[in-house]
Chain A
């Protein structure tokens, strides 16, 4: 199950935060900061997965949030943006990596060569895309064509 989805830029600004689990506002803020700290120091020679015990830095996460011992973060960097998904430890890493890529491709199609500014100015549309593809912490629709069709229909209703 997905616990949360986060899109952040290198400076730490959140472009999208979708939570599938209950957290307080200050907890959410702390989580965002911690994820940013963990993910931005990793470069190409690291794997795309962060499990709590492997990094001393991410140990802070497990102290602040004891439930974090059962989670791991799968992230992928596209230009200046980090797309992070936090899932349970038992989930398939590689499949979620594909899920992230799928999502980014849809964004690309929808916004015609998406860039960070698109995500900033059309944030509510980005949320719609997320809701079309993920729901209740699971992947909902994987076909890019179908998702795009739905999005265009929704757009026409505006």
Chain B
């Protein structure tokens, strides 16, 4: 059998192949040759063959028949063989092959080999692909090597230990004694890997964390030496001594100082020093600064340091390098909740980032901008954001539009401004707004009574320009239907009134009905609008004609509407004016989409894991955080009051009464709170459909002489509960026990642990109180 060709030859030959088929042919030929060579158990050329096999594997061809050969190579005594063998093992074998267990013995022998390079190879392989069984067997050897004085091996052993801990966390204890001396090493490499090992141990186990806290002064000292000691050519990168080590130490300090005051205090100086002394002209310096900022944010640092950190981030934003801007925006997003004011200072820079070219920077800037909007800067910010909405990519438009709506609703300085903003959004990004925004907008418009004429006029003008954006068209047709008389009569205070005749209005609406651009929903809106105008306009005949045409429409929804309206004209004409009169002001039935959070067991409902429109995450966080702050961030889960419509609740209650009230199980009422004249009583019931739900009605009464206004009751329960708070009967508890405020709470108690609730906020003079209610009668949680 001729000697197998060398690796170089093979590579050269394969590269000369001009087509995929030719390449495959060559590879198959060579594979066959290699297979026969393996069968002959040829020791001299095995190494070469396996190397060729690995090359072919890298090109993407199957090479698994070489696995056993790799093992044989590992067992050989020659270094070259071992090297290729281990490489093959790392590439071809993994945990899922049973064959890999055969390696364990070889690795064990090699770990005790006399040559450090062989030991190194073994450690390396174990660290890369060791399975849990292998790790368990070999952990002792690794630990021994961790204590050796050879720094080359110590580095590898440390990282191998990291891998072992990741695979088998129980073995962490074993490595504890070896870590004692690790930090006193001079060798940077060993120091670096030791810090990694310590980080891994601290991340995995809180006991270790407590144990290693005492190392903080030592770490601080090492960091100080690094910064002060000037030039060390080996580990120097662009003038900064061993930035990788600095970054890792900072990370470890972050984990150690996280909730611990003493450690955080010990770190304050060094963090300030690193933050001010590091050169920022190159990426390296910025990497260290970034890690420092993250650390400052996470530990309990003093406020001066925090402001320093945010200023660093602000400086990052002005940097030319987009990577650094990106990194700064991401961190600012994380800190905007806690350090809101400091971040506000950099608002203008953030808004400038909206115009950046990179998609991810734009997205971050947009989220951050929405988080920074408040009552003072709403006008300026909105201008920028609307401009952004005009020019951004479609994937952003939906989120931006909903963000704008939310912000406008919270902080609108005037109704006219609010309506203008909405109009602007509808006209620019109309097709991307969410479906629920149409009813919300309509509700908003009905509420601003004095703006009706202005609104309908603007909407009409917009409709004349463009009828392709469905949400705009829907809102516009609804408004024209309602306020068409205002439009025609030409009364408008805010703007120059336009002269419109009834026929023109009807033309527009009929145009909507026939246009191809209108969806069936829009057509429905238009038809209803035309019908409503029959009471407001005088040209009733024309309307009757239009409506009767659609009585035979193919679309079932339209047809039904038209037929019913027709009937209205014919048989119930006397009722028509009453039926079609102006809508009353609507109550807000529920809060908007993302802010409606019913907290269950400590997790918010995931606001949609939608692929194309990841929702602005900061919005619900904003709402939740207000309450979290108020309640001092306890371990209990606060509940956001949802103002549910009271009608269904009471209807359900009546039904329960009718059915003979199976739910009353005779749980005695109790007094939950009695202080400063405010008495709160709880009465219990079991909910009918689900006996696990306890329905608690609270009765608040006031025995002082002054009435208590702005009474708000909030409840928080431990994470094992689910709780729903319905709206109270009133906010004012009248004085001298003249009346009570009632509120219904529904609690789901699957764990059947005793309930406890906290009350808060009742004001005569503003009073806040927190109370724990533990004395629930045992029947309530059986």
A residues touching B (Cβ–Cβ < 8 Å)? 13-18, 20, 22, 24, 29, 45-49, 51, 53-56, 59, 63, 92-95, 97-99, 102, 120-121, 123-124, 127-128, 131, 135-146, 150, 153-154, 157-158
Contact = CB atoms under 8 A, between A and B. Distances in A.
A94 B189 contact: no
A18 B87 CA distance: 11
Given A46-B358, A47-B322, A121 B8 contact: yes
Interface in B143-166: 152, 155-156, 159-160, 162-163, 166
Interface stretch (B243-251, B556-564, B667-675): B243-251
Contact of B357 (A24, A45, A54, A121): A45
Interface in B77-103: 79-80, 83-84, 87, 90, 94-96
B244 A139 contact: yes
Given A17-B58, A59-B611, A146-B234, A135 B96 contact: no
A22 B96 contact: yes
A146 B233 CA distance: 11
A142 B235 contact: yes
B223 interface: no
Interface of B: 8, 11, 15, 51, 54-55, 58-60, 79-80, 83-84, 87, 90, 94-96, 117, 123-124, 127-128, 152, 155-156, 159-160, 162-163, 166, 188-189, 192-193, 196, 233-235, 237, 242-245, 247, 251, 283-284, 286-287, 290-291, 294, 322-324, 326-327, 357-361, 363, 395, 611-612, 614
Given A136-B159, A139-B192, A145 B51 contact: no
Contact of B361 (A47, A53, A145): A47
A145 B55 CA distance: 29
Contact of A48 (B90, B117, B294, B323): B323
12 contacts: A20-B128, A29-B60, A47-B326, A92-B291, A94-B323, A95-B290, A97-B323, A98-B237, A128-B87, A137-B163, A146-B189, A158-B79
A27 to B, nearest CB: 11
A143 B235 contact: yes
A121 B11 contact: yes
A51 B196 CA distance: 24
A55 B117 contact: no
Given A138-B193, A140-B156, 16 more contacts: A14-B58, A15-B58, A22-B95, A45-B358, A47-B322, A102-B237, A121-B8, A128-B83, A131-B128, A136-B160, A136-B163, A137-B162, A140-B159, A146-B234, A150-B152, A157-B79
B469 to A, nearest CB: 23
Nearest to A99: B244
Given A98-B284, A121-B8, A140 B155 contact: yes
A63 to B, nearest CB: 8
A95 B287 contact: yes
A140 B237 contact: no
B160 A95 contact: no
B189 A143 contact: yes
B124 A98 contact: no
B245 A142 contact: yes
Contact of B188 (A47, A120, A142): A142
Given A53-B614, A140-B193, A142-B235, A94 B8 contact: no
Q: Which of A56, A141, A145 has the most CB of B within 10 A?
A: A141
Contacts of A128: 83, 87
Contacts, number: 153
A50 B94 CA distance: 28
Q: Which of A93, A135, A158 has the most CB of B within 10 A?
A: A135
A139 B245 CA distance: 10
B225 to A, nearest CB: 16
B448 to A, nearest CB: 37
A141 B188 CA distance: 8
Nearest to B151: A146
A142 B159 contact: no
Q: Which of A56, A99, A146 has the most CB of B within 10 A?
A: A146
A49 to B, nearest CB: 6
A49 B326 contact: yes
A127 B58 CA distance: 12
A157 B117 contact: yes
Contacts of B287: 92, 94-95, 97-98
Contacts of B59: 13
Contacts of A53: 614
Contacts of A141: 155, 189, 192
Nearest to A131: B124
B111 to A, nearest CB: 15
A100 B377 CA distance: 42
A46 B283 CA distance: 16
Nearest to B86: A131
A95 B159 contact: no
A3 B528 CA distance: 59
Contact of A94 (B54, B80, B84, B324): B324
A15 B59 CA distance: 8
Contacts of A123: 54-55, 58
A137 B291 CA distance: 19
A140 B324 CA distance: 25
Nearest to A157: B79
Given A17-B58, A97-B323, A142 B83 contact: no
B117 A142 contact: no
A92 B247 contact: yes
Given A54-B359, A135-B128, A138-B162, A98 B326 contact: no
Q: Which of A93, A120, A121, A138 has the most CB of B within 10 A?
A: A138
A95 B243 contact: yes
Contact of A142 (B15, B242, B251): B242
A136 B323 contact: no
A89 to B, nearest CB: 10
A55 B363 CA distance: 11
A97 B189 CA distance: 19
Nearest to B193: A140
Nearest to B236: A143
B188 A97 contact: no
A29 B323 CA distance: 29
